[in-house]
Amino acid sequence: EVHLVESGGGLVQPGRSLRLSCAASGFMFDDYAMHWVRQAPGKGLEWVASISWDGGNIGYADSVKGRFTISRDNSMSSLYLQMNSLRVEDTALYYCGKDRTMISATGIDSWGQGTLVTVSS
């Protein structure tokens, strides 16, 4: 059974940094693309970033480009999101998601329970 467990969320001041992690188990991690998707309180889903199985293809939403960095460690079956220069509007529940295939945008078939990031002074 696929398990995705996010961690690293918390309360942080605007302009500061945070690193999210996603520990994966139950599948061959290095065979699949992975995603970060966020959901602000009471709002809809917003795609944040994606990374292909080998890290060779990476994409970011315009709202986080230049501030966030997605990465993966296939030896550790882990996905990361380094978030710098955080803004109040980055406040959201951040989900880690597994794609159906090696490349992204073929459908996210497994999701973690999310980790909450709150940016506030």
Partner 1 sequence: QSVLTQPPSVSGAPGQGVTISCTGTSSNIGANYDVHWYQQVPGTAPKLVIYANRNRPSGVPDRFSASKSGTSASLTITGLQAEDEADYYCHSYDSSLRGSVFGGGTRLTVL
The residue among 53 and 60 lying less far from partner 1, judged by its C-beta, is 60
Amino acid identity, position 104? S
CB of 13 to partner 1, least distance (A): 28
CB of 45 to partner 1, least distance (A): 5
The residue among 8 and 114 lying less far from partner 1, judged by its C-beta, is 114
Lookup: tokens for 26: 């139950």
The residue among 61 and 102 lying less far from partner 1, judged by its C-beta, is 61
Contact 22, 96 (CB under 8 A): yes
CB of 121 to partner 1, least distance (A): 28
Contact 51, 71 (CB under 8 A): yes
Closest Cα to residue 108, out of 35, 14, 1?
35
